[in-house]
Each structure stands twice: as structure tokens, then as C-alpha cells.
């Protein structure tokens, strides 16, 4: 089954490791000084401009990573491109811990039954076992109700393990109860047709200003075609992908799950109405002018 088919079916897929052993060693040795200086932070980040300044952005976005991104969608625009390190000996999820033990869907991501529109690719830079803060995911359509018995996946693997997932599905960062800090590359992309507020952030502006234009794939990734049609990138050989088997069940009270999902649905409806009203107001204003 293709990578896109797996993402449409279950929302998540294993892909071939994008980094070689030498690339992993190079990335980690380059990142060590910066992240050791941030070891007092529960979640520490190395952003896209810092990756560029360290001289490792070309490794992070190497050809295998680009192949995966362009296999997922024809015009991927970056909106997350950083390394995250999370503290060890932590009994709670390090994001949204006060909400369903960290389980959530991203509010700024759309869901389409036909194609992935907002996707992340994760590559572990450290070994991640059962207690090391692995990524957790619910491999069922976000349109289906969660129940206590719903199957979920805890993604574990050695350094280099790489996988892609749809951000509109339920997921969480599981607690890193182990003694070591967990390190991961996080790349998120969206279709070029979706406006991106992330590209205006100081980290992205600095990287975009520093990276020369002219390479079509790089220019698409950096959002240089936002607001217009992106060029079609010649596809490379198919990216190998495989399903990831469920490892457990949610085990959260059904009542709490139902209340949370009803609140999320109400918020989604409110957001859609707000966008529709905004589009209508802009259309009326344009007509009147």
C-alpha cells in the first residue's frame, strides 16, 4: 500500500529511515552543545533558523526527507521544522496533560477523506522505548468517536526510526518516564493552498531570508509560492511505507471522552462558521468596491 493510502486509511505510516548512521551522528554532535545549554527546559527546541546557522538544515531536509514530503503531497509547505528534546523522569505528558492525559487533535489542521492536507514526519534522534516519551496515535478516522476500548499506537524505535502521520487525528506526546532526554526531528507540512501564519514567525523569516531562491523544491517548502500556484516537482521513485500495528487501548473514561469530543466538535463548527462569515464579508466588500 502506498504512503498516501496508508495515511488516508489509518492516519499514520512507517517510512524508510531518512537519515543514515553517519547523518545521525553528525546531527546529534552538532546539536549537543546547543541542547545541553537548554537542558533545564522541559521541552527544548532548535528552530529552522538555528538549524541553518549550525549548518545542518541540509541534513535535516535531505533528499530522503524531501522525497517523503513530496510523496505525501505535491506542494508541501513547511510550518514546523525543528528538533525537540523532552526531559526525562517526567510522569505526565509534556503537552495538554490536563486534557485527556494529553490526547488531542490540532485545531489549526483540516481533515479530508480524499487526501492528507496537514502531515508531520518524525525521525527519532535517540532510541525510544516504552518509557521514553514515544509518540502516541489513534489510527482511526477523527470522525469516529473515541472510546475507552479504542486502539492506539505507541511508536517506539531506535534512533533513525521515521514515520508520517496526519495531524487532524488524535495523538499525544506520551510521558518520558525514562532517565534520558528524548530527541526528535519534527517536520510538518501543509498544502500550498492553505495560508500559513507560521511563515511570518521570526525563525522562519530569518531562515527564508538566509536561504537563496532558485531551487523549485526548496522554494515550495519555504512557502515562496503562497498565494499562487506552486510548480509541479518531478516525482522520484515511490517512497517505501508500511503500516504500524496498534499496541494498546486508550483506557480513558468513556464519559470524559464523549464530553471532550463534543466540545471539540462545537469548537470546529464555530471555527468553520467564523471562516465562512469572514469570507462572505470579504466577498461583499470586494463587490461593493
Mean pLDDT of 32-44: 96
Overall average pLDDT of the 1-26 stretch: 96
pLDDT higher than 90, residue 66: yes
Residue 134 confidence class, pLDDT cut points 50, 70, 90 = very high
Residue 284 predicted with pLDDT over 70: no
pTM here is 0.90
CA 184 to chain centre: 11
pLDDT exceeds 90 at position 122: yes
Predicted local confidence at residue 288, as pLDDT = 53
At 159, is the secondary structure helix, strand, or coil?
Answer: coil
Residues 6+ apart with CB under 8 A from 170: 103, 104, 105, 137, 138, 142, 146
**CA 72 and chain centroid, separation:** 12
CA distance 171 to 173: 7
- Give percent of the chain above pLDDT 90: 74
Query: What is the percent of the chain where pLDDT is above 70?
Result: 94
pLDDT for residue 223: 97
Q: 5-19: b or e for each residue (b if 16 or more CB lie within 10 Å)? A: ebbbebbbbbbebbb
**Residue 195 CB coordination number (10 Å):** 11
Classified as helix, coil or strand, 53 is helix
Alpha helical stretches, state H, the chain: 3-10, 21-36, 48-54, 57-60, 63-72, 202-210, 216-221, 254-288
Amino acid at each position: 500500500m502506498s504512503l498516501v493510502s496508508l495515511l488516508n486509511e489509518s492516519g499514520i505510516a512507517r517510512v524508510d529511515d531518512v537519515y543514515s548512521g553517519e547523518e545521525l551522528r553528525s546531527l546529534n554532535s552538532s546539536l549537543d552543545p546547543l541542547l545541553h545549554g537548554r537542558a533545564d527546559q522541559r521541552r527544548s527546541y532548535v528552530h529552522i533558523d538555528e538549524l541553518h546557522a549550525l549548518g545542518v538544515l541540509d541534513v535535516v531536509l535531505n533528499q530522503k526527507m524531501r522525497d517523503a514530503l513530496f510523496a505525501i503531497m505535491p506542494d508541501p509547505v513547511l510550518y514546523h521544522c525543528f528538533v525537540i528534546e523532552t526531559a526525562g523522569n517526567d510522569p505526565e505528558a509534556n503537552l495538554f496533560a490536563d486534557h485527556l492525559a494529553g490526547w488531542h487533535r490540532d485545531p489549526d489542521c483540516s481533515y479530508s477523506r480524499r487526501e492528507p492536507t496537514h502531515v508531520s514526519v518524525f525521525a527519532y534522534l535517540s532510541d525510544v522505548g516504552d518509557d521514553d516519551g514515544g509518540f502516541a496515535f489513534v489510527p482511526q478516522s477523527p470522525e469516529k468517536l473515541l472510546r475507552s476500548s479504542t486502539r492506539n499506537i505507541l511508536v517506539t524505535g531506535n534512533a533513525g526510526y521515521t514515520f508520517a502521520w496526519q495531524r487532524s487525528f488524535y495523538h499525544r506526546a506520551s510521558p518520558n518516564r525514562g532517565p534520558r532526554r528524548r530527541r526528535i526531528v519534527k517536520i510538518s507540512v501543509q498544502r500550498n493552498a492553505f495560508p500559513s501564519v507560521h511563515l511570518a514567525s521570526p525563525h522562519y523569516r530569518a531562515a527564508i531570508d538566509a536561504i537563496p531562491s532558485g531551487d523549485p523544491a526548496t522554494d515550495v517548502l519555504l512557502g515562496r509560492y503562497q498565494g499562487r500556484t506552486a510548480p509541479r516537482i518531478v516525482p522520484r521513485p515511490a517512497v517505501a511505507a508500511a503500516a504500524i500495528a496498534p499496541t494498546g487501548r486508550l483506557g480513558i473514561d468513556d464519559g470524559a471522552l464523549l464530553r471532550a469530543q463534543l466540545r471539540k466538535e462545537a469548537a470546529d463548527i464555530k471555527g468553520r462558521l467564523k471562516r465562512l462569515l469572514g469570507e462572505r464579508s470579504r466577498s461583499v466588500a470586494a463587490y461593493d468596491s
